[in-house]
Amino acid sequence: MAEPRTSTPAPELVEGSGTHEPPGPEASTGSATGATGSAPRLRVDATADRVVATLDRPDVRNAIDQAMVDELHALCAELEADPRTLIVTGAGGIFAAGADIAQLRERTGDDARRGINATVFDRIRHLPMPVIAAVDGFALGGGAELAYAADIRLGTPRVRFGNPEPGLGIIAAAGASWRLPEIVGHARASELLLTARVIDADEALSWGLLSSVHEPDDLLSAAHAVADRIAANSVRATILTKRALLAPRADHPAIDGELQAELFDSADKRARMTAFLERKKK
């Protein structure tokens, strides 16, 4: 029988930052000044087939505040208009140690009903092309829920996932209650959300929360390797595959036939299959 697994204790709260204090290397900002004169919360690097968005608030452990939410919405608008694979990561050896508690403390019931974080995470989840979360260090609270919104999650040995919201008198209301059961199953999700414990990379990998684990220096390269595999495929077929994956069970199998019908009649399908058959002749 396997030895019982011990959970990682929850890190201490940092007063005023709204995040948790993780161990690890010191972070550097590396952010340029935004158009409004304030430092942007996201560092965005774009190419023809992918975008890397780095959460860049290392002084508060990449806490997700309203300004970051606004920048994520702006990025989503770009990727909805020009679909590309999105890689989301964090600066300074940490993904995101939570939402900004200083802001959360002042939010009201009306703010909760607006679903400030839930709305942007759902928008990320439904981007046309795949979203890859490259997670290093702590992904807690809203940071964990952002990672749950991705299609694929890669991590490092120092990853820590958790939803400590009940300890702060709230619930994980930005996707954890329905996305986490879809990823790891209802029983495991219930354990994490009801106990607020923090799990490490090994447990996250064994549960399927992470697809693979890489050393910190190799994490972004591994995410790009996944993006390379996506880029080698038909863009339209990838978009429609993601659409099928996100469709409710009741829509299947009808939706699969409709999506396939579009692809069967496409020039791209004929060209790719013709190239495949010609390669086989050689």
Ramachandran angles phi, psi of 39, nearest 5°: -65, 135
The span from the CA of 185 to the CA of 180, in Å, is 7
Query: Do residues 193 and 62 touch, judged by C-beta distance below 8 A?
Result: no
Q: Are strands 19-20 and 13-14 parallel, antiparallel or unpaired?
A: antiparallel
Catalytic residue among 3, 71, 80, 165: 165
Catalytic residue among 26, 80, 145, 191: 145
Query: Do residues 199 and 8 touch, judged by C-beta distance below 8 A?
Result: yes
Asked if 71 is an active-site residue, the reply is: no
Ramachandran angles phi, psi of 134, nearest 5°: -100, 100
Asked if 21 is an active-site residue, the reply is: no
Catalytic positions: 145, 165
